Amino acid sequence: MASQLFSNFDAEMGVSLGYLNSGGNALRLGVSTTKMAYFNGQKALWDPLYLAYKDPLTKEETQKDIEDLFKTFNQDMEDNKETLKSNTDITLTGTDILKLFIHIDAARRNYVAVPNIAPVNSCTKYAVGVNKVYAGNPTEGHITDKHLPDDVAKIGRAIAYVPHYQPAPTRDKYTTISSVGSTSFDILVATINRHMVCYIITWYINNRGDFGGESDPFNFDTV
């Protein structure tokens, strides 16, 4: 679904550019000031356009513009990942790989154990057609971390909608949606599912694609 694709890109792109723009990371990784200026310029175009796209009142009129921008911006970000991955003059750290969402070929990976913890979920934003969920690290001292736990590459997600005052759904009623690479993410709510109760279950995924245990179901009202 395009809306979910844009939401995932928005989350991952924000993390990646935030990382490159901080601590001299772009310079260390050989990303030129020209390229960073281009990426930041694209983000400056994306941010207001994405906000308008999420607004039901302006979604239709921004559909083509955001599709066109996504096509080029996403490809540029993917090309940058491949450039960094193939550059033998730099050594990517584990943090580089996680923050920039770089896929490492299986032959080059070290085994990482399946996460033995599950996220704790909360809803941090209620708006028409969209809710923002925060999947927090349950480890003491890390509950408010904005970054993923060590050795976690993604967060898996499954959701279900039920009318108000109805029993909680059984696990087989949940639909798995795309995993995300950030602790805070949007759940875009179709018109048919508004004014209902959304239940969400999340789990951690390591760099081999292994799943950790599932969180307790968390529910919130949609509007």
Res 109 pLDDT > 50? no
Q: What is the mean pLDDT of the chain?
A: 91
List the single range of 27-36, 113-122, 163-172 with lowest mean pLDDT.
113-122
Give tens-digit pLDDT for 151-175: 899 999 999 999 999 999 999 999 9
State the CB neighbour count (10 A cutoff) for residue 100.
23
Task: Give residues with Cβ within 8 angstroms of 98, minimum separation 6.
Answer: 148, 152, 153, 181
Q: Give pTM, 2 decimals.
A: 0.54
pLDDT computed for residue 184 by the predictor? 96
Span 42-66, pLDDT tens digits: 999 999 999 999 999 999 999 999 9
pLDDT at res. 107: 45
For residue 222, what are the CA distances in angstroms to 37, 180, 191, 202? 38, 21, 10, 18
Closest CA to 47 of 25, 63, 66: 66
pLDDT of residue 111: 59
